[in-house]
Amino acid sequence: MRWELDPSPSPWKVFLAYSLFVALALLLLDLLSLLYGVSPLKAYGLLLSPLGDSLGLAEVGRRTIPLLLIGAGLALAFRVGFFNIGAEGQLLMGAVGGAYVALFLPPGPWTLPLMFLLGGGLGAVWSGLAAWLRVRFGANEILTTLMQNYLVYYLVVYLVAGPWKGQMVFGFLYTDRFPPEAQLPRLGDTLVHWPTLLLGIAAALGLQLLLFRTPLGFEWRVLGENPEAARYLGLKGGRLILLAALLSGFLAGLAGVGEVAGIHLRLLEPAQISLGYGFTAILVAWLARGRPLWALFTAPLLGLILAGGDALKLALSMPFRVVDVVAGLLLLSLIGAEALSQRRLVWRR
């Protein structure tokens, strides 16, 4: 008796595998709720409560924007075989680039476009560096991109505590407020900066078309699904990986610009700029299963979990990281379901 790869699992088998592991994740979440003396039904009600009013929906939308931009880029990168775990750092690089334009260049109608260009460019360069290290020296991009997150984290701390600290700021770490020309418009009184949302939708659509309707996309898919076949066909794997990494980092950089120009209106400490969007977007991309267009659906789902997690923390005084537990259990269940659905038990020797 042994486990073997199943080259063509039936839809029914895939459905059963995912149902089993999602049910297991929900059971563990129920146990977590009971440990805190909370009814699981009440916890789920609070988790879904943002859907019940306009303010909650706006909070879901606010969190969906960076998840959509980053998740669409990661879906492409993962499909090609570049496992980018550094979107959090690339988002922060984008925030740094946007803040530089807002604070140190003359304001005008060109300010916002230049912020997005520089912020996205810095995110692309930061991701491209890890891709170059992999192509040139064989460095594992999971480790390099993960370590890059910490480098950018302390770069931002240095900037807001040192040379970029606001002139009239005492006891806090942030820059001066951006001028009006460097602030993104929002939907009414919400924090939903709609230009960045439109960029996220356009990115998901554009990457989907690029991946499935162009010769470049065909090469990407061949490389991701069968590197040996790509090598046999003479495809330039290094160039393809580098290009996918640049696009992924560019979109993460755009998300960083959106956060500082659309919500905070200044550069702050890293933990205040991003609520772990770079890591949560990994789950967005995983759920999208290598299809950037599906991020249009998976990003709002994770946005709901983040917004509902805030309701849990406020209403039940649960720990700040309860959202990470929910997202982590969901990710583990999906990984387990994927592994089980791709295996079959063989009884013969």
Give residue-wise pLDDT tens across range 95-120: 999 999 999 999 999 999 999 999 99
Q: DSSP 3-state assignment of 128?
A: helix
Pair 92, 254: CB distance under 8 Å? no
55-59, 207-211, 252-256: least confident range: 55-59
Long-range contacts of the stretch 32-35 (C-beta < 8 A, 24+):
32/322, 32/325
45-54, 189-198, 202-211, 232-241: least confident range: 45-54
Q: What are phi and psi of 262, to 5 degrees?
A: -105, -20
Residues 6+ apart with CB under 8 A from 252: 69, 70, 73, 87, 90, 91, 94, 123, 127, 278
Q: DSSP 3-state assignment of 346?
A: strand
Over range 144-172, report the average pLDDT. 91
Specify the amino acid at residue 171: G
Grade residue 245 by pLDDT with cuts at 50, 70 and 90.
very high
> Can you tell me the distance from the alpha carbon of 80 to that of 57, in angstroms, rounded to the nearest whole number?
34
Q: What is the pLDDT of residue 320?
A: 64
pLDDT above 70: percentage of residues in the chain: 96
Over range 248-275, report the average pLDDT. 95
Q: What is the pLDDT of residue 247?
A: 97
> Can you tell me the distance from the alpha carbon of 270 to that of 154, in angstroms, rounded to the nearest whole number?
8
Give the relative orientation of helices 141-161 and 87-104 as an angle to the nearest 10 degrees.
30
Pair 75, 220: CB distance under 8 Å? no
3-state SS of the chain: helix, strand, coil percent to 5? 75, 5, 25
Over range 3-31, report the average pLDDT. 80
Beta-bridge mates of residue 3: 345
Asked whether the predicted pLDDT for residue 334 surpasses 80, the reply is: no
Q: What is the pTM of this model?
A: 0.91
